[in-house]
Structure 1
């Protein structure tokens, strides 16, 4: 796993200062909660590894499900943190708009991933442009897309890149965990029994005539990819603050 060239997460001092939205919660309080959540990811990751070890030591159905539930919690927690970073990035890059219309229009990953590439500041900060803002150096693989056509099944390998890498993967994977009828139906069967991997299968909108998307990722790759992505986005936020305001204005520890 290639790590992004950005400072490691170091709590509140990793964040730039954000201007406030009138009549809502202070951004500093959101930042503090987010810091605790980022640290808690380590606990959830270690818990998932522990659950996997328990399953290997005693391969019961209950142990298998407990490991799968630990993965569910970890992936959805990662998604929640990244969605909050999207909201903070909107606050940073669109504060004047928010004063006129107090509406965070980009409140989660999926809202901007399908937009035309790099047309707004929030996209450039979150995705990176390879110039002022860091891009994700990793190509996290969605193993295969299974396409059914008149009863025939064809497999093709696809890359979750599109200059977005990890954000594409965690968006697709967490949506699979949240919404997929197939994911729940294959829950015990789809959990890898040899090494700690994260697997899932889904069809968009549960329209079963659409392509079936299979996820298969090593747990450690997702963990390191998440840490790298948080560091990259925060570094890009600080760069935006310097370029736009002349001072990143980091929070005090």
Structure 2
């Protein structure tokens, strides 16, 4: 059973989310602030964390940062009352996988949770499907069953990173860190150049997948299999 930690200081919101997720078959635990959530994660790690931003003791920003240090592969969804794009940018920059603005339909949270968990299951595999294409990380190839493409290493790693989390928005800084590493000396234009090359290379196959620019945020990959 998938374990979910809800970090929310609003008792009514906590109860509502817990009931909905319980009915969906999730094992739910709660924490009322970031400090309590970290203690919960250290004693018994959850499979996914849903956290509010505005909380006492330790807010959602700091908690997200700490959780990412604790486990880089932990699925995290932020919920907040703030609608500003700058807040979403900050959330994604700290490592959130998705961002939901209050008030929201609880079923939307369920759908987003399932999507995020599905992305992580895909990422844990060494083979990723993109419509009629397959990315084989062990061989470093892209194949449509008839032709194999051997891409330059960084192009392949960039495409694999995006394809491992279809529909997820990646900021340029996140892609730099994931593909080139923390000590990369170049700037964010490196990502733009490689995205341009990938788009040109697979321009005839956009029905299978395409890399979309999300204005003010970054990039995401969309496939014919996206929900």
Q: Same fold (TM over 0.5)?
A: no
Q: TM-score, normalized by length of structure 2?
A: 0.28
Question: Larger Rg: 1 or 2?
Answer: 1
Q: Counting helix residues as a fraction of each chain, which structure ranks higher?
A: 1
Q: Kindly indicate which of the two structures has a greater share of residues assigned to strand.
A: 2
